[in-house]
Structure 1
Amino acid sequence: MSANGTVIETGIIFDIQRASLHDGPGLRTTVFLKGCPLRCAWCHNPESQKREPQVGQSGKVYGRRMSVKEVMEVVRADRSFYESSGGGMTVSGGEPTVQFEFCRALLEAAKCEGIHTCLDTCGQVSHEGLQELLPWVDLFHFDLKHWNAAGHRQWTGVDGSLIQENLDWLLEQGARIHLRCPIIPGVNDDAEHAAFLDRWEEHPGIEYLERLPYHTIGNAKYEDLGMTVPQF
């Protein structure tokens, strides 16, 4: 049960990575929630797209139901590493806010225990939801996919307007933000997108902008799930 008395249901987790070095400052435990409102053509975690658990052709199960208590037992086990490295817990996906109540409850539980929290989000979340999450998030890892609405819709399924509005609002609130920007051949590796990112990198409210190279690590998972493997 959360602090406001809401009964928290379990959530669907597809991975928990301990001692992560790339999902925020210090050593972190990254909790990956299933479900995403975007369908990025280059997605490297295809098992994250659907909210429900899935079984691959190999028999591997992608996704299991866990409670906040069970997740926090894993997170809490590495508290000493967080304290020595400046790390903490990152909630990622998919898009973790698809499982909104569970996401909020995880962030709240960690924050109330003094554990640094990071939310890795694509920004496609209601404005009201973002307002509710803000008190429980120390750092936002915020994705930027494409420089214009048409390209954003073509390659992700949404036009990016809500994402932009949410980023602007977070900046107005003084939130800590690191931008994460995948660079995909033939999609956004052009001069227009480069100039778009350069402008954001110079924004005084953005602490850090990271350009992420395209990789094919997720291809075996596409095949296991019977999905078409991206080609770029």
Structure 2
Amino acid sequence: MTTALVSNIQKCCVHDGPGLRTVVFLMGCPLRCKWCQNPENLATKPIVLFDTEKCARCGRCLPYCPHGCCTLTADGLRFDREACTGCGVCAEHCYIDAKTLCGRRMSVDETYQAVMRDQVFYRDSGGGVTLSGGEPTLHEAFATELFRRLQEAGIHTALETCGFCSSRAMLRIARHTDLFLYDFKALSDEVHRKWTGQSNEQIKENLSLLHEMGKQIIIRVPLIPGVNDGDEFERMLQYLLRMQGLRKLHLLPFHQVGASKYVLSDVGYDMAGVPECSVDYAQEHAVLAQNYGFDVNIGGWDAAKN
């Protein structure tokens, strides 16, 4: 049975493709972008999210943890993540939801049945289903089979991807993908390695392959001041101009909305305290891209009114 680790199935989304959409978030990612807004999805196994501010220090969860990960101290509840296996038993017995389990393994059948409950909304709005993450291409067989079944049912499919996967995996998934929301974070390999932990050569290769296939692609640039703005941004535009017809671009200004998730999942956050990208600064870059001939919007699909 083909399965994937699913962190969330979010309904009635408007920023992840045309119309009303259901977005399936898969866990695991080969990149480590310092500004990632979904750090809980970096994990490759279920994780317990722990909100220390919600915790009542009642100790109710202590006897249920099979590995003794929870200890009540004078300073509050101590949670040993290294010993935690992500079983989620402690979260089941937390009556105020200070602990919640993120991630459960789902089959293609289960996921298909879940997203098809919203098919009336897809048909009425021109929407569909989007796979996001994490990085959904890590779940090649799952994504391919789910999208195949959705297309057979007449449901529009979209893939949010960083593009970092084998060309074989990308081409296999592409056969059943109507739209690619393709992240392009930096042109310089040095910049890309510094801020994501990986080279961008495979990402550029996969983008070229999808373009040659004639796939519908929207480039999404997370605009991070001091990282990929200014001259680096302009070089990115010049590179993209080589691909004829690839002119839709979404600018996603850096913000701190996801910062609290790092606390819940105990993941280090290098962007804490970094100023957000202002509306005016994003607009300056949007105008620059428009001058190069790109069809630009700021913030995603809803802002584009597509």
TM-score by length of 1: 0.92
Residue correspondences, number: 225
- Determine the structure 1 residue equivalent to 2:157: 117
User: 1:9-59 CA distances to partner (integer Å, 9 max, x unpaired)?
Assistant: 221111111110000011111100000000001001001111211112232
CA separation in 1, counterparts of 2:239 and 2:187? 11
**Letter of the 2:26 counterpart:** L
Choose 176-185 or 9-18, whichever is displaced more: 9-18
Residue 87 of structure 1 pairs with residue 127 of structure 2: yes
Match of 2:101 among 44, 61, 69: 61
Name the counterpart of 2:10.
Answer: 17
Residues 5, 104 of structure 2: 8 Å contact kept: yes
Please give the alpha-carbon distance, in whole angstroms, between the structure 1 residues aligned to 2:49 and 2:125: 37
Deviates more, 1:162-171 or 1:191-200: 191-200
Structure 1 residue 189: deviation in Å? 1.7
Partner of 1:151: 191
CA shift for structure 1 position 202: 8.2
Structure ID, larger Rg: 2
Matches within 5 A, 1:130-145: 130-145=170-185
TM-score (normalised: structure 2): 0.70
Residue type of the partner of 2:110? E
SS of 2:180's partner is strand
Deviation at 1:229, TM superposition (A): 2.4
Instruction: Give ranges in structure 1 of 5+ residues lacking alignment.
Output: 1-7
Residue 45 of structure 1 aligns with which residue?
38
Q: Alignment partner of 1:65: what SS? A: strand
SS class of match (1:104): helix
Alpha-carbon distance between aligned partners in 1 of 2:15 and 2:209, rounded to the nearest angstrom: 25
How big is each residue's C-alpha offset from its partner over 1:123-177, in whole Å with a ceiling of 9 and x where there is no partner?
0111111121121001111000112100001111111000000101111111110
> Structure 2: which amino acid aligns with 1:228?
G
**% same residue:** 43
Does 2:214 align with 1:221? no
Counterpart of 2:251 (choices 211, 217, 221) is 211
| Cα shift readout 1:174-225 (whole Å, capped 9, x = no counterpart) | 1110111100121112223234236526843325100101111211110111
Equivalent residue of 1:181, what SS?
strand
Separation in 1, partners of 2:257, 2:177: 29
Moved over 6 A (4+): none
Is the Cα–Cα contact under 8 Å of residues 177 and 205 in structure 1 kept in the other structure?
Answer: no
Q: In 2, distance between residues paired with 1:199 and 1:225?
A: 37
Q: Secondary structure at the match of 2:45?
A: coil
Structure-2 separation of matches of 1:149 and 1:99 = 25
SS at match of 1:222: helix
For 2:55, the equivalent position in structure 1 comes to: none
C-alpha distance in 1 between matches for 2:250 and 2:35: 17
Does the Cα contact within 8 Å between 1:41 and 1:156 map onto a contact in 2?
Answer: yes
